[in-house]
Amino acid sequence: MSGELLVYINGEYYPKSRAAISVYDHGFLYGDGVFEGIREYDGVVFMLREHIDRLYDSAKAIMLEIPLTKDEMIGAVVETLRRNGLRDAYIRLVVTRGVGDLGLDPRKCGKPNVIIITEPALTLYSREAKIRGISLIISSVRRDRVDATTHQVKSLNYLNSILAKLEAINAGADDAVMLDDRGFVAETTSTNIFMVRDGVIATPPPTTGILPGITRAFVMRLARKLGYQVEEREITPFELITADEVFVTGTGAEILPVTKIAGRIIGDGKAGKITLKLMEEFEKECKNPANGVKVY
């Protein structure tokens, strides 16, 4: 594909360098909007329907009416990928409150802006880096409460995570574990977290204020299909740092082993056996047309 990538904005396609919206958009002024990050693997958009369902749930929670049906939205994502000739892509779907005045009142905003950005997928980590695993700190920034700006809503306001990410960067770690307001493990800044002990896999519940990840749900199903016991339960920081294996999941990260938390080596300091098995199965399943929507 030659030329610039095209960006979908409200039904029109603009070259990337001219894809712009107003500085009066409340997504920009107030973080008032919702989004999704999605992956296409070999011409199949992985879990697209599930991502679209979550987008509309997030929009419902902030009383934002998306001016497209779910099927129209799926069609727009597929068409944007086709126009850009992309088979392996990262897709960013954004719906903002739209253009308003300088006050907060969402009723002053006209129509929501719908934006679809598609880019060739980046390999975030090499295979060796994946197996070596990542290091985490335990952040002093607590995950927002479920009755506040909870990450259950995938909103355009990510400052809660960004503050923890800055702490991780300053400490020389790859990322940060965030605890809920009671001190239980929630998630990292942009991935869900799992631990393995005595062959049992555990991950924190949505009551800790996490974004219930699409990859998290997929990995839980995959692990159960492979015969592992999977629990959704509260996890203390102590349990996490003394676990046999820890890994994180997310659309961008896929499955990544964690080999150091707050200076403690996890397990034997390498990707664990169950983590590696899940990574191997995930690599096959993410390309399976049964797990997504075909673009071509």
Q: How far is the CB of 51 from ligand PLP (least distance, A)?
A: 7
Instruction: Write out the residues near ligand PLP by the rule CB under 6 A.
Output: 37, 151, 161, 187, 190-192, 210-211, 213-216, 249-251
- Choose between 134 and 214: whose C-beta lies nearer to ligand PLP: 214
Active-site annotation holder among 16, 111, 154, 284: 154
Q: Which position's Cβ is nearest ligand PLP?
A: 213
- Choose between 38 and 66: whose C-beta lies nearer to ligand PLP: 38
Q: How far is the CB of 161 from ligand PLP (least distance, A)?
A: 6
Angstrom distance (rounded) from CA 25 to CA 124: 31
Angstrom distance (rounded) from CA 214 to CA 153: 13
- Choose between 8 and 218: whose C-beta lies nearer to ligand PLP: 218
For the chain, the three-class secondary structure string (H helix, E strand, C coil) is CCCCCEEEECCEEEEHHHCCCCCCEHHHHHCCEEEEEEEEECCEEECHHHHHHHHHHHHHHCCCCCCCCHHHHHHHHHHHHHHCCCCCEEEEEEEECCECCCCCCHHHCCCCEEEEEEEECCCCCCHHHHHHCEEEEECCCCCCCCCCCCCCCCECCCHHHHHHHHHHHHCCCCEEEEECCCCCEEEECCCEEEEEECCEEEECCHHHCCCCCHHHHHHHHHHHHCCCEEEECCCCHHHHHCCCEEEEEECCCEEEEEEEECCEECCCCCCCHHHHHHHHHHHHHCCCHHHEEECC
- Choose between 130 and 151: whose C-beta lies nearer to ligand PLP: 151
Q: How far is the CB of 47 from ligand PLP (least distance, A)?
A: 8
Q: How far is the CB of 101 from ligand PLP (least distance, A)?
A: 30
- Choose between 53 and 65: whose C-beta lies nearer to ligand PLP: 53
Q: How far is the CB of 250 from ligand PLP (least distance, A)?
A: 4
- 154 is a catalytic site residue: yes
Residues forming the active site: 154
